[in-house]
Amino acid sequence: MLNRRDLLQTAFLGGGAALSSVAQPNVVHAAGKVTSLSALAKQRGILFGTAIGPLVATNEAYRKIVVADAGIVVPEYEMKWRFIEKTQGVYDFSAVDRRLAFAQQNGMAFRGHTLVWHEALPDWFSGAVTVDNAKEVMASHITNVVGRYKGQIHSWDVVNEAIDVTPSGVGDLRNTPWLQMIGPDYLEIAYRTAAAADPGAMLVYNDYGLVYASSGGDAKRAATLRMLERLVSRGVPIHAVGLQGHIEAPIRNFDPNILYRFCMDVAALGLKIMVTELDVSDQYAPADIAVRDAVVADAYKAILSCVLSVPATAAVITWGLSDIHTWLSTSRPRSDGLPVRPLLYTDTMQKKPAWDAVARALSTSSTKRSR
């Protein structure tokens, strides 16, 4: 029998009548042309979507572009530990519930982000979690959160950013509180616990730094594959790799053959690929807006034409949709003080060249690559 994970994947390949309430495409026709990114993605059997936040409730113009283009959404921060359990033992899911209601009202799939991470931990964490209780604290957090949304989540980023191949890593792993207090088995425990709490959700390993063709990128890809091989060989329920895809314009150090080979190696383990947090920093791009928007669009095109040629790619999700709100405003500001323009729409919801580049990449049939 197909489970929810399979259904969500096959729904867009014509096998999903049973899911019609979830999978209604937000098709917008202009002169007979499909112009919604979600609809274009669905035509090739994948999902397109974006991270969302409070703006979908407060800004009508923003809400409209999200409804038009997104077939899947993910809360940008509302599901992170420090936001849902500010006080130990007291969960507040109200913001997540609002985002989920928005998704369900608009026929969108919903992603969970993220359960086990070294960032966004609650303030009480360091005083309360010890070697003696860490395993139990992690497992009960996963059980509580995944269990609460059982049956409603397309995919969970169970572990986020666990690999660190720099000298601060331990072996291949990042030196996080989880590694220190539980040991390397924390990954396996996390995935098994998530699967027990929602057997139908796609369970994802999500990380950055897997896209670029640098020596650091090579080492991180190799370490990630080693970790995935180990988990898969032990029968751990893990189903996809999330390439965060925080990239930079002009795109440098990018070799599509290297990224393609990595994706195919992941696929050979039986895993799907998702681009989970795509945005293009224009921190160092020229100030001129036309030039800047063009190099940003080129970067979207470069990564998507590669990843979309991988048959195992199941979704492309951007980390925001309009320049009106992006974490890059503070994390990657420009030295000239100009507002950053990393996303697909301007801050007044006009489509940018990046939107056209994504639409074209989604519409283009894949070119075959050699491995």
Residue with tokens 């998507």: 304
Cβ proximity to ligand XIL: between 160 and 193 the closer is 160
- Candidate residues 57, 77, 91, 232; the one interacting with ligand XIL per rule CB under 6 A: 77
Query: CA 112 to CA 61: how far, in whole Å?
Result: 25
- 330's CB contacts (< 8 A; 6+ apart) are none
323 lies in the binding site for ligand XIL (CB under 6 A):
no
Residue 78 is among the residues annotated as catalytic for this protein: no
Nearest-approach distance from CB 158 to ligand XIL, in angstroms: 12
Buried b (16+ CB within 10 A) or exposed e, 148-157: bbeebbbbbb
- 180's CB contacts (< 8 A; 6+ apart) are none
Residues across the chain: 371
Cβ proximity to ligand XIL: between 193 and 244 the closer is 244
Catalytic residue among 78, 85, 161, 248: 161
3-state secondary structure of 29: strand
End-to-end CA distance of the chain: give it in Å, rounded: 34
- Candidate residues 327, 342, 352, 355; the one interacting with ligand XIL per rule CB under 6 A: 327
Query: CA 235 to CA 188: how far, in whole Å?
Result: 9
76 lies in the binding site for ligand XIL (CB under 6 A):
yes
Cβ proximity to ligand XIL: between 160 and 322 the closer is 160
160 lies in the binding site for ligand XIL (CB under 6 A):
yes
How far, in Å, are 296, 318, 351 from residue 323 at the CA level? 12, 12, 11
Residue 277 is among the residues annotated as catalytic for this protein: yes
81 lies in the binding site for ligand XIL (CB under 6 A):
no
**Kind and range of the H or E run holding 217:** helix 215-233
Residue nearest to ligand XIL (CB): 327
Tell me how far the alpha carbon of residue 162 is from its chain's centroid: 15
Question: Binding mask 232-271 vs ligand XIL (x if CB under 6 A, - otherwise)?
Answer: ------------x---------------------------
318 lies in the binding site for ligand XIL (CB under 6 A):
no
* CA-closest candidate to residue 321, choices 77, 109, 68: 68
Check if the beta carbon of residue 56 is closer than 8 Å to that of residue 63.
yes
Q: Looking at the annotation, which residues are catalytic?
A: 161, 277
Residues that bind ligand XIL (CB under 6 A): 76-77, 160, 244, 277, 327
